[in-house]
């Protein structure tokens, strides 16, 4: 069985004030072309369909067009909600659409939704697990203790009673990681402080393939079959060196798996250029690549420049971001580093209790009450004894 794995469409997203609708429409045309040439049985979309919980009319129309084209191809579509989506809106009319092989799993009901597709080797179980938080799983699981994202995912999969002797594919939108491996993160992702949303990838390693969404760079979470396909479009300059694609998965008999990367070409690429403004605006330099690419320009001029954005956009109309790199910026950077060093030395002089007090003030906007202070002191004493 062959299926396409895509995720993080973020339909309706703007980058630095530039709408990505045309780029998204271009990517969808290429995906539909791959459906014609590769003839997959299904298309998996692993969350973050829209960029906002309440998408624009333009975004809804574009996705409606894309789903309609997929339905005309008479292939199964298996779709889950991500952390950017509204589960209820995404799941609207999902039961009516089953006749068109559109399996839209927006809301989570306590266990992954099971969809069975068949090929010459028999059944393949697809488990649709939308983005979930420990708080929502705690409500659904009753008396079971759910303290972390690990607990939430383990409880959800435990409720599914997965038969791992059969062929199983998980579709999930969470931040799966493996100890000792640093994932490639992007500025366009939502990054909770301290990686509190991280889930141990070992929890899902028994699946034949895990079609993941959430990270925008194509990569695996430790094992090759636990895979992020990445976003189809570059959504921040932290991604400008990435080559965007979707993944074609071929699942044979149990234990037989192969993948293929299918590249996606943007209408306008995202890239960075650096140099003095007069040189960058010369025709021989500007013509080295597409002038209409989405650009981050870093100017190295030492002198002040009047209206650099206006001048640059007369040559590069889709310039998104402007930065400077010269002796003045280096001086400011050194000053900032000195301030950081002074702050670090001050922190080293604080006790653990005082550090927690500073952390509480910064995150809560108020100092601890007497009762809260007493609890912290008691916990610190207990941890010291142990």
pLDDT tens, 331-375? 665 555 555 555 565 666 667 887 887 777 666 666 778 788 888
pLDDT number for residue 120: 94
The model's confidence at residue 235, banded by pLDDT at 50, 70 and 90, is: very high
Task: Give the tens place of pLDDT for each residue, 191-232.
Answer: 665 557 899 999 999 999 999 999 999 999 989 999 999 999
* pLDDT tens per residue across span 299-309: 999 998 999 99
| pLDDT-above-70 percentage for the chain | 90
pLDDT tens figures, 108-142:
988 999 999 999 999 999 999 999 998 888 888 77
| Distance set, CA 357 to CA 179, 368, 380 (Å) | 30, 7, 13
| Structure confidence at residue 75 as a pLDDT band (50, 70, 90) | very high
Reported as a single tens digit per residue, the pLDDT across 160-169 is 999 999 999 9
Asked if 170 and 127 touch (Cβ cutoff 8 Å), the reply is yes
Average pLDDT for residues 263-267, to the nearest whole number? 97
- The sign of the torsion formed by the CA atoms of 190, 192, 193, 197 equals negative
Q: Which residues of 15-48 are buried (b: 16+ CB within 10 A; e: fewer)?
A: beeeebbebbebbbebbeebbeeeebbbbbbbbb
In this predicted structure, the answer to whether residue 385 has a pLDDT above a threshold of 60 is no
pLDDT at res. 98: 82
């Amino acid at each position: 069985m062959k299926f396409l794995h895509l995720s993080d469409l973020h339909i309706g997203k703007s980058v630095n004030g530039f709408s990505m609708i045309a780029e998204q429409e271009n990517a969808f045309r290429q995906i539909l072309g791959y459906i014609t040439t590769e003839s997959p049985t299904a298309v998996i979309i692993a969350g973050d369909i829209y960029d906002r919980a309440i998408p624009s009319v333009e975004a809804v129309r574009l996705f409606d067009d894309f789903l309609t084209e997929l339905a005309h191809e008479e292939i199964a579509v298996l779709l889950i909600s991500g952390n950017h989506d509204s589960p209820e809106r995404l799941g609207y009319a999902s039961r009516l659409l089953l006749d068109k092989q559109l399996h839209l799993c927006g809301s989570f009901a306590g266990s992954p939704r099971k969809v069975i597709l068949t090929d010459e080797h028999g059944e393949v179980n697809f488990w649709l697990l939308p983005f979930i938080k420990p708080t929502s799983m705690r409500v659904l699981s009753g008396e079971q203790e759910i303290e972390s994202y690990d607990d939430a995912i383990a409880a959800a999969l435990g409720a599914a009673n997965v038969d791992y002797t059969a062929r199983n594919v998980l579709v999930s939108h969470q931040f799966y990681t493996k100890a000792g491996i640093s994932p490639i993160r992007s500025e366009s992702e939502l990054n909770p402080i301290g990686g509190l949303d991280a889930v141990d990838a070992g929890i899902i390693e028994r699946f034949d393939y895990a079609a993941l969404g959430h990270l925008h760079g194509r990569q695996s979470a430790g094992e090759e079959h636990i895979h992020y396909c990445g976003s189809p479009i570059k959504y921040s300059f932290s991604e400008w060196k990435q080559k965007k694609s979707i993944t074609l998965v071929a699942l044979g008999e149990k234990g037989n798996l192969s993948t293929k990367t299918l590249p996606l070409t943007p209408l306008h690429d995202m890239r960075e250029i650096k140099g003095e403004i007069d040189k960058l605006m010369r025709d021989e330099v500007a013509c080295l690549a597409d002038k209409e690419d989405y650009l981050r320009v870093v100017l190295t001029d030492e002198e002040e420049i009047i209206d650099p954005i206006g001048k640059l956009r007369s040559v590069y109309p889709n310039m998104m971001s402007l930065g400077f790199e010269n002796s003045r910026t280096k001086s400011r950077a050194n000053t900032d580093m000195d301030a950081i060093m002074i702050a670090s030395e001050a922190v080293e002089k604080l006790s653990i209790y005082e550090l927690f007090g500073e952390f509480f003030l910064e995150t809560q906007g108020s100092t601890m009450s007497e009762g809260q202070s007493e609890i912290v002191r008691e916990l610190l004493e207990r941890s010291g004894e142990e």
